Amino acid sequence: MRPEVTSAARNLQENGSVEVRAELDRLQNTVSNLQKSNLCLEAENLELKLDLEKSTKELPHLREQIQHLENYIEVLKKENVETANPDVGANPKTDAKKISELERTIFVLKRVVEKLQAENKRLLTGKRFYSDRTASEDKLKRDHQRLKEQYCESVQKVGKLEEEVKTLKTGQNKPVSDSVAVLSDELAQVREQLEQKTQLLNKVKVLLQRAAIKEKALLQELEELKLRTQESKPGENQ
């Protein structure tokens, strides 16, 4: 082989290796940033999921308080009817007992109403909180889309680098150099990392979808409870 050809081949290999190395370093930085962003996404999504689960557990307690209020309203109505229409020849002691029981019922009812008002206040605060969490969820979705785009770009770069390595191999009628062999191994590792990345992104997407479904159902249930509470208020003055 002529010396000029050998020198040109060597320069091609060295220049190609430098370019591939630079591109690989940039790709590895991109993967590292993707991993950091994904950790932040998973942490925020987990926080959202825990908040939703906590609020879901509190709903039965609120429903129980509303049920108590409805029961006491019915009792109060019954007592008012009996007091307004006493039986002929009713025993004064019996009437006094009924009045005492009625006063006790009213006292308990007021306590329940106070607790329910406190629950409603907390409920309204929670509704604003979930509004803020919805904005946070939109941010998570945007970040997820951005990560998907970066992932696709990274896959394309890996394919391009592999083609360059393949060209370097076929351009020489001798075994691939140690430098190019190392690059091939590193590219294989990057591909594996990117495959793991897409699995993590899909996992985040599923968690976001589940969180959105739970949040929608929870907000609907909270709105229904609020309407039931408002419908029960006219009975307080009876």
Q: Alpha carbon of 80 to those of 70, 86, 99: distances in Å? A: 15, 10, 10
Instruction: Check whether 129 has a pLDDT greater than 50.
Output: no
Phi-psi region of 89 (alpha: psi -120 to 50; beta: other; left: phi over 0): left
Q: How many domains does the chain have?
A: 1
H helix intervals, 85-177:
92-170
pLDDT for res 176: 43
- Sequence letter at residue 63: R
Q: Which two tokens stand for residue 110?
A: 């007021």
pLDDT bucket at 211, cuts 50 / 70 / 90 = confident
Q: What is the mean pLDDT of the chain?
A: 61
pLDDT tens, position by position, 159-206: 665 565 555 555 544 444 454 455 556 556 666 666 766 677 677 777
pLDDT band at 236 (very low <50, low <70, confident <90, very high): very low
User: 89 is written with which tokens?
Assistant: 């020849």
Band the pLDDT of 26: cuts 50, 70, 90: confident
Q: Please tell me which residue, 130 or 99, carries the higher pLDDT value.
A: 99
Give the model's pLDDT for residue 174.
46
Predicted confidence (pLDDT) per residue in 222-231, tens digit: 777 667 666 6
Phi, psi of 176 (to 5 degrees): -60, 145
Is the pLDDT confidence value at 212 over 60?
A: yes
Spatial CB neighbours of 96, under 8 Å, sequence gap ≥ 6: none
Q: What domain range includes position 154?
A: 3-237
Q: Taking the model in full, what pTM does it have? A: 0.30
Give the tens place of pLDDT for each residue, 54-68. 655 655 555 565 555
pLDDT at 219: 73
